[in-house]
Every structure is written in C-alpha cells, then in structure tokens.
Amino acid sequence: MRWSIPFIVAAASLLAPQSQAADLRLALSSSPSAMDPHYQNLGANQNISQNIFDSLVRMDPDSRIIPGLADRWTRVNDTTWDFHLRDATFHNGQKLTVDDVIFSLDRPPTLVNSPAGFGIYVKSIVSKTAIDDHTLRIVTNGPYPLLLSDLSLIFILNKKESQGLATEDFARGKGMVGTGPYRFLSFLRDDRVELAPFPETWQPKPVWDHVTVRMIPNGASRLAGLLSGDVDAIEGVPTNDLANVKANPKLTFAQKISSRIIYLYIDSGRDDSPQVFAKDGSKLPHNPLKDVRVRQALSMAINRPAIADRVLAGLGYPTANLVPETLFGYDPTLKVMPYDPDQAKKLLAEAGYPDGFSVVINGPNDRFVNDAQVVQAVAQFYARIGVTARVDTLPMSAYAPRGAKGEFSLGMIGFGSQTGESSSTLRAIIACADPKTGGGLYNWSFYCNHDVDNFVSQALITADDPARLVLLQKAAHLAIDTGAILPLYFQATTWAAKQGMGIIPRTDERTFAAGFTP
C-alpha cells in the first residue's frame, strides 16, 4: 500500500474550499461516448463522470492512492479488506449505503456490449459483505495488491436511481445521481454537458456557480474560443501555438508528463489480417505482421526523436517502456529503438518481403497531441523501407469502437496506466485476450504470449514490491522484445486558462471542473 497521510493533505490543500465564483466554461478535446460511468473506459467519459460521481478510493494528481468514499480501510489478511464509508450524500438527498457500493461493483460485468468495460477491475473480487451500515468487507480470489487501484476506477451509483437502467438511459439524465461536487443537468451529444454545483458534497465545496463542458475536437478552435472569451479553460493546447500561449500575459498555462503511452498496435495474432496486402493490392498468402522480424523492422523504421521534436513540438518523450520512470514497473534497461531504415530493409528481406507490402495505418484525429500528424509521419517513414502505408484517421468516438471489433491491422492508440504501475498496461493491451480473466481488454494487436501472461499473473498476486517489480520488468521486456506493441512516446498533457485561474495538472490527463480554481 504505497500512500501516506502527507499525500492526502497535499491533495486536499490543492482543492481547498473557496467562495463560489463565476461560471466555468471548459472545452475538452474529445466527446464522451456515453454518460453511463460504467459503459466504456475512455478518458473523455471519465472527464465527465469525475465531476458527478465518486469512487471508493481516488488517485491524486500524481496518480497516488488517496481516500474517496471510503475514508479509511484495513487489510485484514492477504485476501480480505474492510472499507469504512464516510458520511456522504447523493444528489437526490439519499445517504450513501453499503448496498449502493455493492450494486456499483456488481454492475460493470453485466454490461456485455461495452467495447471497453470495467469488468476487469472487479474480476479479483469473490465476495462483498456489509459488516455494518458503514463498513464493507471485500474478499479477493487470492492475494491482490492492486485492489485499491482497481477500485479507484469504479464510480459509485445510487442503486435506487440506476437499478435496471440501460446505458442509453443515462444520456437522458436517468441514473445520473452521484455524490460528486457537481450535479448533472443535461447532455447534448458531441456538443456539451451542463452541470450545477452540489454544496452538500463531502469533497471541498464546488467553486463554480455553473459548469458548461464543451466538446471542441479541433485544437485551433478550442484555443480561439479561449482567446475570444467564449470558454474559460481548455485542454490540449495546439503545439503550433505553445510558444504564443506561454508568452501571453492574459493566459495561464500548465503541462505535465502523462502516464499515457502512445504506441502502434500491430496484428500479430491473426493469419488473415484485414488491412495488409501485396503491393498491387492483392491478398497475401500469409499475414506478414505475424513475423517478429517484420514487427522489429516496422519499429526501427520510425524516427521517434524526430516525431517528438518536429511533430509534437517537444511534447513527446520517446520510450521503449510501458510507464514513465516515475511509475512502478519502469525498466531502465529498455532502450528506445534506434532509427535504422537500412537494417529494417534487411529484416524485411529476411522475412520474405524484400519489396515490402501494403498496409493501412489507422489512428484518431482528435484525442492525442497532433495524433493525425503522427500517423502521417509514421507512414512516411514506412515508405522509406518499401512499405506502402495508406493513412486513415477518425474521431476517437468512431475510431475506438471499430478498433475494439478488430477491424484494423495496424494503428496508433494510447493507454495510460490507471493503477500507478505497469501491470495495468500489461494486462490491458498486451495480455492474451480472455473474457474469463479480463486480460487483453484493449489488445488490438491480437498478441498472445503465455510467458508474458505468467509473469503478469505472478505479479498480480505478489504483495512484496521488489519481487513484483522484477516480475513486471520481465513481462515488459519480453513483450517489447517480441513486438507485442511498438512503443512510440509518452506525451505531455497541456492546459490553458484565462488569466488568474489556477490549473491543477494531472499525470492521468483527466480534466474536470475541480482541476480549475478562480
């Protein structure tokens, strides 16, 4: 359990109560796919849910565990945890109960149509029992050191208001009853969410009289809205405007390295991949991406420092790791793949593709820093080794569902560790896809290596931190060496606001009303 009281005090001081001020008009870069907080694990969805709902435990701005609706907890033994619930009130006036928590922990696995659900984060739980009106006992299926981190991702609903509702009901306002600092008012898809303060929250009192969260995918339009006064704060400052924003005395700027790794998923698991062809467009007898030499060639064909400097304006940190060095599981022996197009050509020839092949490179165009431009840059690097790459980018709301269905062979995506260590990334994007274990929830590469899975499985039941670190490093090293994914970089997240506003930057990239102060 790696948290301490000073962390709690520090986080609380950042969000100290203030007298209510003017309205907050906040512009986000990506639209949520749903209002249902259990439907899909997307940053855009969490940015909205975080205003309205709470979890048993939370992450502070540096991704360290702090109390949430549970004000304290006790690890009774290796598999048993007791959580004491604080006195919290839902937006409908009802008090938080243990039944609400049990219902909320039971619900995620029932959403069978979720493209990226939260069921994996309750897989370890075998029983939930009310010890008394304010104490919940959770028993796991074995020693499980990541229980607290997993619980930080499950928002607690009001059972009476949300029982029996379908995901689409939440978009109409049903079930949108939490204990967070803001109440839900309305949702207009791909446009805005309206929120009102909830003074009875257990958290520091909300400082805004009214919050409008706008969805403005285009970076230039977001910044123009800030400069014109149409919005008060934005996430994702356009890289071309960074210098001007930093120098503008009428603006406040903040940035922070993110735990999100930007990487290429690469279909190494299917014999017949949908978007890989011969140079003339004909069908290939075998999927070339299954050959580790091809995956290595595609990795060393990419000039990562050039992308970080020229495409990302310094907002990228090239890596071969799954988490930045500030998070648990980082492996200093994993070095960035050197740019070597000549060696890449040799590897392609050895694999039987001396003239290359053709592939579609997919990616989002509204989710990450200059995401569409990065995909274009990768395609240009591939052209230099004889691989013809056609680029297809989409808004994240359309891209994610298709990727989850396996429609792509190669593409760019990002994943941020949500547990404060690399196990989250390993089991979500690299582990063999298995509904029984919840592994591979975002494994768009169809990669499966049971040796990697064994290291991860051992780590997930190892409470000793040094021993778990060794297991996680072994898993990451093997996965990267065998081309499970092609790591590109960690991105820096940026925010800007009008003069005088405070900004609390977060490693997890989340952007919500409590992160801004008058």
- Check: pTM over 0.75? Answer yes or no: no
Mean pLDDT on 422-450: 92
Task: Inform me whether the pLDDT recorded for 120 exceeds 90.
Answer: no
Task: Inform me whether the pLDDT recorded for 3 exceeds 70.
Answer: no
Q: pLDDT band for 14, please (50, 70, 90 cuts).
A: very low
CA pair distance 276, 172, nearest whole angstrom: 41
DSSP state letter for 103: H
With residue 168 as reference, give the H or E element that holds it.
Answer: helix 167-171
Task: Inform me whether the pLDDT recorded for 344 exceeds 80.
Answer: yes
Question: Which residue, 53, 12, 164, is CA-closest to 103?
Answer: 164
Q: Where are the domains of the chain?
A: 5-232+501-517, 257-492
CA pair distance 145, 462, nearest whole angstrom: 7
Q: pLDDT band for 417, please (50, 70, 90 cuts).
A: confident
Mean pLDDT on 282-301: 97
In angstroms, how far is CA 347 from the centroid of its own chain?
A: 33
Kindly write down the DSSP assignment for every residue of 454-491, as one continuous string: HHHHHHTT---HHHHHHHHHHHHHHHHHTTSEEEEEEE
280-286-288-293 Cα dihedral, nearest 10 degrees: -140
Mean pLDDT on 369-389: 97
CA pair distance 178, 155, nearest whole angstrom: 9
Task: Inform me whether the pLDDT recorded for 19 exceeds 60.
Answer: no
Mean pLDDT on 23-35: 95
CA pair distance 428, 432, nearest whole angstrom: 9
CA pair distance 255, 308, nearest whole angstrom: 15
CA pair distance 28, 261, nearest whole angstrom: 20
Task: Inform me whether the pLDDT recorded for 17 exceeds 50.
Answer: no
Mean pLDDT on 36-48: 94
For tokens 């639209």, what's the residue?
31
Using one digit for the tens of pLDDT, what is the confidence trace for 358-373?
Answer: 999 999 998 888 999 9
Whether the CB-CB separation of 333 and 469 falls below 8 Å is answered with: no
Residue 231 structure tokens? 């919005």
Q: What is the mean pLDDT of the chain?
A: 93
Q: pLDDT band for 435, please (50, 70, 90 cuts).
A: confident
Question: 3-class DSSP state for residue 75?
Answer: strand
Q: What is the CATH number of domain 257-492?
A: 3.10.105.10
Whether the CB-CB separation of 501 and 518 falls below 8 Å is answered with: yes
Task: Inform me whether the pLDDT recorded for 15 exceeds 50.
Answer: no
CA pair distance 403, 145, nearest whole angstrom: 31
Question: Which residue, 362, 366, 363, 361, is CA-closest to 395?
Answer: 366
264: left (phi over 0), alpha (psi -120 to 50) or beta: beta
Question: Which residue, 371, 369, 358, is CA-closest to 412?
Answer: 371
Q: pLDDT band for 416, please (50, 70, 90 cuts).
A: confident
Mean pLDDT on 165-192: 97
Asked, colleague to colleague, whether 5-232+501-517 and 257-492 share their fold, the answer is no
Using one digit for the tens of pLDDT, what is the confidence trace for 471-497?
Answer: 999 999 999 999 999 999 998 999 999
What is the pLDDT at residue 341? 98
Neighbours of 464 (CB within 10 A): 10
DSSP state letter for 335: P
Q: What is the CATH number of domain 5-232+501-517?
A: 3.40.190.10
Mean pLDDT on 61-86: 95
Mean pLDDT on 145-157: 94
Strand-pairing partners, residue 84, are 72, 135
Task: Inform me whether the pLDDT recorded for 49 exceeds 70.
Answer: yes
What is the pLDDT at residue 115? 82
Using one digit for the tens of pLDDT, what is the confidence trace for 328-343?
Answer: 899 999 999 999 999 9
Q: What percent of the chain has pLDDT over 90?
A: 83
Using one digit for the tens of pLDDT, what is the confidence trace for 207-248?
Answer: 999 999 999 999 999 999 999 999 999 999 998 899 999 999
Position 34, amino acid: A
Question: 3-class DSSP state for residue 424?
Answer: helix
Kindly write down the DSSP assignment for every residue of 303-331, as one continuous string: -HHHIIIIISTT-EEE-SSSS-TTSBT--
Q: pLDDT band for 4, please (50, 70, 90 cuts).
A: very low
Mean pLDDT on 98-124: 92
Write phi, then psi, for 347 (nearest 5 degrees). -65, -40
Task: Inform me whether the pLDDT recorded for 98 exceeds 50.
Answer: yes
Whether the CB-CB separation of 267 and 446 falls below 8 Å is answered with: yes
What is the pLDDT at residue 21? 59
Task: Inform me whether the pLDDT recorded for 262 exceeds 50.
Answer: yes
Q: pLDDT band for 319, please (50, 70, 90 cuts).
A: very high
Mean pLDDT on 348-364: 97
